[in-house]
Amino acid sequence: MALKSIWVYAEATNGNVTPLSLELLAKARTLGGAVEVVYAGADADSLASELGAHGAAKIHSTGDLAASLPGVPVASAIAKAVADGHGPDLIMFGTTYDGRDIAARLSVALDQPVITNNTDIELDGDVVVVTEPIFGGMKLVKTKFTAAGPHIALFRPKSFVAEEAGGAPAEVVALEVTDPGAAKVTNRHVEEATGPKLDEAAIVVSGGRGLGEKDNYELIETLAKLLKAAPGASRAIVDAGWVPYSYQVGQTGKVVKPTVYIAAGISGATQHLVGMKGAKNIIAINKDPEAPIFSVADLGIVGDVHKVLPKLIEALQAR
Amino acid sequence: MHVVVCVKQIPDPAEPGKLEGDLTLDRSGKLILDESDSYGVEMALQLVDKAGGGEVTLVSMAPNNENSGLRTALAMGAAKAILISDPALSGAGALDTAKVLAAAIKSAEPDLVLAATESSDGYTGTVPEQIAALLGLPSITFAKEVHIEGQSVNVRRQTEAGYDEVTCPLPAVVSVTAGVVEPRYPSFKGIMAAKSKPVEEQTVAGLGLDPAGVGSAGAGQEIVAVEDAPVRNAGEIIVDEGEAFTNIVSFLDGLKVI
Ligand SMILES: Cc1cc2nc3c(=O)[nH]c(=O)nc-3n(C[C@H](O)[C@H](O)[C@H](O)COP(=O)(O)OP(=O)(O)OC[C@H]3O[C@@H](n4cnc5c(N)ncnc54)[C@H](O)[C@@H]3O)c2cc1C
């Protein structure tokens, strides 16, 4: 028996559905049953054709949440739909700031477990089984839901490949918010970002503590610009305040799967590897031949970043 | 100002992790204070200081009444701790953990509850928000900065694009990211004082919860398999003699990305 109905919590930035939401829709379609979306924002109508093309038949829209953080209002709205008897069998969220808040609130409202950080989902008969990497991605744990549901699961970015299915625009239906919550946003700050986004770029150039000092991160930025790449970082230099948290690749940062990942002066701790070892090609520059990063590198350069990077930059500038 | 901080005691992350026969994480060895929680402890101590009075209470759930991690946080300056230890909690999922912590927090009646955004070993990242929901409190997650103003807490909350300024009334639950503050090192005096600070040991039943509703019995989930992740093989390694940059250029050329 397949699942009768799956809801995917979709998010959008600047009027576009996020890649992660589309990845979840692609996976949801393979599980059988109706695929529908939950959306919190004023612009559900303008997303209907894109979400429909990716397989969503309906958008359950809360409408504009104004200044409310989404956790309480969206969870209250989904819980009411479940209580009224038209909820889904499975609700899929991305591992995002808001996704985690809503899933957590919802798990309490429905008294259901929530399983986070998954990279896969499958059906064993009518039992839902999810896969989660542990120990920095060294092991994969498969967990089945044993209660009646609805099941709540969160997925890491880049776990699935987004693909259009060519459906008609999704029908927008109202999802009633019963509790707006007391936490209010008073101001939003957008950190200026130029160039491609870290989790969408075809090439990522990341630097680590081996760069020696903050000013040397410029080498990474220059190289990234030349390669039309996104600059990234290990947690060590994020914690040291050299670059913002949004640059961090790894378990507690972004998961990237670019065509090429260049790691300069990064040791390759398991928590870093879990965020980048899905790259198609990995180039590592490290002066320590024993550095763990070399165990995943397709091209490993045992050398000093202060020597290799300037020459590489010069060679690329000369082209 | 009374602040409760949720702290987790975890196996040393520097050691390779191990699983038990029932596929739960092996926590039998010595446990340490999760580094992620040291930020919440420090933040709580600073907020109490600024408020000009009050105290910090720790709440932790751990097997075998393990308290070495708690002692570290007490040595930093927390006044006391509640430790919930119960064989019924083996195999507890995030929701069960939240139920237990919430029950303990309720008895402490705090103005503010702090937690890390996620633990270093389980990193589910849902427990703080679940605690808030169970206590019927507002919550703000992923805090990069926390300020108390009158009866409100104002937070800079991490977002994909930057950060939001968010406010909510107290009492509330706030989860803090690593790096919000610089955790202090316990002083020698602090370490000595911590030895005699009160740690109240609790059980599931003692908190008024049903042991049959938590742990693997109540989890609603069951691990079916643990497999090795596919390994990625190492490729070519070149020692730089001054010209290795050309290998990178031709590698990129071969991929047609430049
Ligand atoms: C719960 C938890 C979550 C974590 N999450 C993340 C995460 O999301 N992302 C992340 O990156 N880390 C994460 N970490 C931290 C991780 O364990 C490592 O500490 C971190 O990745 C190390 O960063 P690094 O490689 O820059 O520094 P180091 O480990 O100090 O490595 C520096 C490297 O530079 C090399 N080097 C030094 N000088 C030179 C030179 N001149 N030229 C070339 N090479 C040089 C050295 O040989 C060394 O290999 C996490 C840790 C924990 C406990």
Q: Hey, where are the domains in chain B?
A: 2-219
First to last CA, chain B: 59
Please check the confidence at residue B122 and state whether its pLDDT lies above 90: no
The whole-number pLDDT of residue B13 equals 80
pLDDT band at B226 (very low <50, low <70, confident <90, very high): very high
The whole-number pLDDT of residue A27 equals 98
Written as one string, the DSSP assignment of A174-199 is E---S---S-EEEEEEE----SS-TT
The whole-number pLDDT of residue A3 equals 86
Distance in Å, alpha carbon of B145 to nearest chain A alpha carbon: 14
DSSP A229: P
**What top-level class would CATH report for the domain B2-219?**
alpha beta
pLDDT band at B44 (very low <50, low <70, confident <90, very high): very high
SS3 helix, strand, coil % of chain B, rounded to 5?
A: 35, 30, 40
**What top-level class would CATH report for the domain A5-174?**
alpha beta
Give CA–CA dist B7/B29, Å, rounded: 18
- CA of A273 relative to ligand 1 center, distance in Å: 10
CB-defined site of ligand 1, < 6 Å: A 208-210, 234-237, 248-253, 265-267, 269, 271-272, 275, 285-288, 291, 304-306; B 13, 120
Distance in Å, alpha carbon of B18 to nearest chain A alpha carbon: 9
The whole-number pLDDT of residue B217 equals 67
- CA of A205 relative to ligand 1 center, distance in Å: 15
Q: Residues A203-317: name the CATH superfamily.
A: TPP-binding domain (3.40.50.1220)
- B196, burial (CB in 10 Å: exposed 0-12, middle 13-18, buried 19+): exposed
Enumerate the residues of chain B whose CB falls inside 8 A of the CB of residue A225.
none
Amino acid letter, residue B179: G
CATH 3.40.50.1220 domain position(s) in chain A: 203-317
CATH 3.40.50.620 domain position(s) in chain A: 5-174
Nearest CA to ligand 1 atom 30: A209
Nearest-Å Rg of the Cα atoms of chain B is: 22
- CA of B177 relative to ligand 1 center, distance in Å: 19
Residue from B25, B135, B139 whose CB has the most chain A CBs within 10 Å, to mutate: B139
Residue A275: phi, psi to the nearest 5?
-90, -10
Supply the pTM of this predicted model.
0.89
Q: How far is CA A12 from the centre of its chain?
A: 13
- CA of A317 relative to ligand 1 center, distance in Å: 29
B88-106 burial string, b = 16+ CB within 10 Å, else e? bbebbbbbbbbbbbbbbbe
Question: Does A183 contact B225 at a Cβ distance shorter than 8 Å?
Answer: no
CA atoms in the 13 A half-sphere facing the CB of A297 = 25
Q: What tokens were used for A25? A: 């829709």
Give CA–CA dist B23/B32, Å, rounded: 21
The whole-number pLDDT of residue B123 equals 83
Give CA–CA dist B12/B118, Å, rounded: 16
Per residue in B46-58, pLDDT (tens digit) is: 999 999 999 999 9
Per residue in B144-201, pLDDT (tens digit) is: 999 999 999 999 999 888 899 999 999 999 999 987 899 999 999 999 999 999 999 9
Question: Region B72-98: what's the mean pLDDT?
Answer: 94
Name residue, tokens 């589910």. B124
Give CA–CA dist B246/B191, Å, rounded: 55
Tens of pLDDT, residue by residue, chain A (319 residues): 568 999 999 999 889 999 999 999 999 999 988 999 999 999 999 999 999 999 999 999 999 999 999 999 999 999 999 999 999 999 999 999 999 999 999 999 999 999 999 999 999 988 999 999 888 778 899 999 999 889 999 999 989 999 999 999 999 999 999 999 999 999 999 876 678 889 889 999 999 999 999 999 999 999 999 999 999 999 999 989 999 888 999 988 898 999 999 999 999 999 899 899 999 999 999 999 999 999 999 999 999 999 999 999 999 999 8
Please check the confidence at residue B99 and state whether its pLDDT lies above 60: yes
Give CA–CA dist B237/B219, Å, rounded: 47
**Quick one: which of A287, A265, A261 has its CA closest to A219?**
A265
**Quick one: which of B124, B48, B163 has its CA closest to A186?**
B163
pLDDT band at B254 (very low <50, low <70, confident <90, very high): very high
Give CA–CA dist A90/A9, Å, rounded: 11
B235, B236, B255 member nearest A260 (Cβ): B255
Interface predicted TM-score (ipTM) over 0.90: yes
**Closest ligand 1 atom number to CA of residue A209:** 26
